[in-house]
Structure formats: structure tokens, C-alpha cells
Chains A and B, each alone.
Chain A
Amino acid sequence: AQSVTQPDIHITVSEGASLELRCNYSYGATPYLFWYVQSPGQGLQLLLKYFSGDTLVQGIKGFEAEFKRSQSSFNLRKPSVHWSDAAEYFCAVGDLFGNEKLTFGTGTRLTIIP
């Protein structure tokens, strides 16, 4: 069965600093991979997704993620964070064949300090 691990429950970063959120997955083949963001009191919004091809994926709000097959990782990065990036971030893996079900990680809460 597919699974996702986000090892960092909470990360604090200074505004303007770089950010990397970790995500490791378990799946029998190259999966579909997603990063979602949840701002306080809101639903989840897609940041970016990877299906195939270029392993560096660009998303909205200046985020990018890199798929590394050898490490089973799909880490999210941003070169310079803004106070508005404070939110909860979820990594998810989708089934390559058939259904649209996603398996979500437990999330990483990002706090931005001035």
C-alpha cells in the first residue's frame, strides 16, 4: 500500500529565508505526487504536482519541488518565504493506475517569524 511520511511536524523560518519541507513516499512504481497548502480556516489548495518528465516541478506562489526516485522523496522548496506562507503543508501520493484516491501525509505546520 502506498504511504507518505512528512518527518517534520512543525518548522519555523524567518521571513526572507529559504525553505525546504520534506516528503518521503512508499509506492511500487513512480507515483503521482502532490503538495497541498492549507491556510488557517480554509480548505486545501494544490501547490504543484508531479506525474512524469522533468523532476523539478514549478508550482504556484513561487514554490517548487524535486522528485528524487533514488531517495523516494518529493521535497518542497521556496527560496525566500513571505509571512503569508505560514500555513500547513501536505504531501500526497496518488495511484498511478485507475482510481483518483490520494494518500496524504500528516502535514507540516510552517511558522514565519519576522
Chain B
Amino acid sequence: DAGVIQSPRHEVTEMGQEVTLRCKPISGHDYLFWYRQTMMRGLELLIYFNNNVPIDDSGMPEDRFSAKMPNASFSTLKIQPSEPRDSAVYFCASSLDSGGGDTQYFGPGTRLTVL
């Protein structure tokens, strides 16, 4: 398996623009997680899905952020409108569902810069 795939790897945009980050989880995995990593706040869980259904979005910072998982092989994280404080590395991870404690496999991340 190719692992978790994220695109784009780098994104530079201007304040106010819409940004869409994409993730393809490992085939057969039931859980998908979106994280944000910054120097100031470390690694934060934004939202996670189980079988394409959002389970916990309490980490989503505000309404400008939205995430979808239309099918088992694809998820998006959208920021509209983007702001400079959204600049961060965004990671997607996936795992199996065997009742707890499974390894999360991380993608390489998308480095977002909002000017």
C-alpha cells in the first residue's frame, strides 16, 4: 500500500482565498483523522471520521473550517476564507477499527502558507 496520501504537499495562498486539502487514507482503514501542527500549539486534532461519518469535530477552530469524507477513500479539509493564522502543517492519518489502540498512519502533510 502506498500509505496515506495527501495533496498538495505545499500550498501558498493569499488571505481570503479558499483552500482545499485532500487526503486518501490507507485502503481498508475505518478511521480518518485531520491534525494541524504549529510551533505555538503543537499537534492538534481537528476532526476525525469513522466509516465516513464525523465523530468528533470539537477541534475545528471555527466555522471557516469544514471537513468531508464522501467515501472511504477520500477526505477534504476546507478553509474558507483563509487567514494568515491558518498557516501550519496539516496532517491526515488513518487507522483500523479494532476496538481501540490501533496505530495511526500519518501522511506526509500539507504545508499551508497564507499570506
**Taking beta carbons and an 8 Å cutoff, which residues of A are in contact with B?**
32, 34, 36, 42-46, 49, 51, 90, 94-102, 104, 106-107
Pick out which of these stretches binds chain A: B42-50, B67-75, B80-88: B42-50
B101 and A107 contact, CB distance less than 8 A: no
A100-B42 CB under 8 A given contacts A43-B91, A43-B109, A44-B91: no
CB proximity of A42 to chain B, nearest CB, Å: 6
- A-chain residues with CB within 8 Å of residue B103 when the two chains form the complex: 34, 46, 49
The 8 closest A-B pairs by CB, nearest first: A32-B101, A43-B106, A44-B106, A94-B101, A100-B31, A106-B42, A104-B43, A43-B108
B91-109 contacts to A (CB < 8 Å):
91, 93, 95-97, 99-109
Report the minimal beta-carbon distance from B7 to chain A, rounded to whole angstroms. Answer: 14
How far apart are B10's CB and chain A's nearest CB, in angstroms? 10
A-B contact list, 17 entries, CB within 8 Å: A42-B109, A43-B107, A44-B43, A44-B104, A45-B106, A46-B104, A49-B101, A90-B43, A97-B99, A98-B100, A99-B55, A99-B56, A99-B100, A100-B50, A100-B102, A102-B45, A107-B43
Interface centre among A36, A100, A102 (most CB of B within 10 A): A100
Name the distance in Å between B17's Cβ and chain A's nearest Cβ: 24
Q: How far is the CA of A17 from the CA of B21 in the complex (A)?
A: 41
- Contact present for B101 and A100 (CB under 8 Å): yes
Q: B107 and A32: CB pair below 8 A?
A: no
Contact of A100 among B4, B43, B95 (CB under 8 A): B95
User: Does the CB pair A102–B107 fall under 8 Å?
Assistant: no
Q: Which residues from 22 to 78 on chain B have a C-beta closer than 8 Å to any C-beta of chain A?
A: 31, 33, 42-43, 45, 48, 50, 55-56
Q: Check A94 against B106 for contact (C-beta < 8 Å).
A: no
Which residue on chain B has the smallest CB distance to residue A96?
B100
